[in-house]
Amino acid sequence: MTIKSHSLKINTERNFEIIDITSKINELIDIDEGIISIFSKHSTSAIVVNENESGLLKDLEFTLNNLITDKYSYSHDRIDNNAKSHLKSFLLSSSECLPVKNGKLDLGTWQSVFFIELDGPRRARTITLTMVGE
Ligand code: ZN
């Protein structure tokens, strides 16, 4: 059994942006079989698995913006003015742990791995990949 790690840097261009990172992760996998942890080192971003369908991705943005709206005032805005970005990140997840088979992510047919920017644009968002397997 071995443990391998890599990091992936992403520049984002919009305040809210969903980026499919499935192929980038597949390129960096260097175990044949095991598990991979995909972790974003930022508290205003997320890592999720879902379907890469453009309407659905718009629906996610719409839903998050309707749950966490400008109707309310948020305490964190007193110091940092990005409470909504953090709150959206709380509702999603900062990591996913996924199976690896034959050197690739073992996803379902309609599944992709996404990095979600919630407070962009930002330079060099860092995602850590940790693989355990053989
Ligand atoms: Zn903040």
Helix 83-91 vs helix 54-67: crossing angle, to nearest 10? 120
Residue 55 is encoded by which pair of tokens? 């309407």
Q: How far is CA 65 from CA 2, 4, 28, 69, in A?
A: 42, 37, 33, 6
Ligand 1 midpoint to CA 79 (Å): 7
| DSSP 3-state of 88 | helix
128 confidence band (pLDDT: 50, 70, 90): very high
pLDDT digit string, tens, across residues 26-53 = 999 999 999 999 999 999 999 999 999 9
pLDDT digit string, tens, across residues 90-109 = 999 999 999 999 999 999 99
Ligand 1 midpoint to CA 29 (Å): 32
The confidence score (pLDDT) of residue 13 equals 98
Q: Note the pTM of the prediction, 2 decimals.
A: 0.96
pLDDT digit string, tens, across residues 47-89 = 999 999 999 999 999 999 999 999 999 999 999 999 999 999 9
For the chain, domain boundaries: 2-69+88-133
Cα(first)–Cα(last) distance of the chain, in Å? Answer: 5
Span 5-19, average pLDDT: 98
The verdict on domain 2-69+88-133 having CATH code 2.60.120.460 is: yes
Ligand 1 midpoint to CA 43 (Å): 8
Ligand 1 midpoint to CA 25 (Å): 28
